[in-house]
Structure 1
Amino acid sequence: MNDFKLTKEQAFLAMFSFLDGYFQLTKSDDVGGLLGSMSLLSGGGSADTGVQEEWNEAVEKAINGKVNAELQFKNT
């Protein structure tokens, strides 16, 4: 991966753009609902303040190296 830095706001917009692209392809109701919650109000906050808090927690996990995005298979 390229080494560059994003602000928390830029990272949020990047994730929003990613999810919006996925929604445009799938028309998933779940993703559409999430996008609605993530939408920004004119004051800058998200439509759902809980989502904003969860986003901040996710950013902290990523900064602190506590996100494992490695593909894992479960034996069933």
Structure 2
Amino acid sequence: MSEPKLTKNQAFLAMYSFLDEYYQLTKSDDVGGLLGSMSILSDGHVADPAIQEDWDEAIEKVISGKVNAELQIEIT
């Protein structure tokens, strides 16, 4: 079975859905604020244009292999 391929917009919606589920569980103000900024308006753009720029940069980091999601805990 091959990996599913998502467009940038589908990946954005997947992250939105993930965060929305997390918000429903936690009612975190920070996550709620982020979701508000990520919300898609009737014209098809996100509520906060800077979020789109940040998303595009994140996509480029993933594509270029510059994301390290390995757990890193420093004990002091």
The TM-score range, normalised by the shorter chain, is over 0.9
1:53 match: 53
Q: What pairs up with 1:1-76 in 2 under 5 angstroms?
A: 3-76=3-76
The CA distance in 2 between the partners of 1:45 and 1:70, in whole Å, is: 32
The CA distance in 1 between the partners of 2:8 and 2:43, in whole Å, is: 17
The CA distance in 1 between the partners of 2:52 and 2:28, in whole Å, is: 21
The CA distance in 1 between the partners of 2:17 and 2:45, in whole Å, is: 17
Read off the aligned partner of 2:32 and give its amino acid letter: G
CA displacement 1:30-62 (0-9 Å, x = unmatched) = 000000000001111100000110000001101
Q: How many pairs does the alignment contain?
A: 75
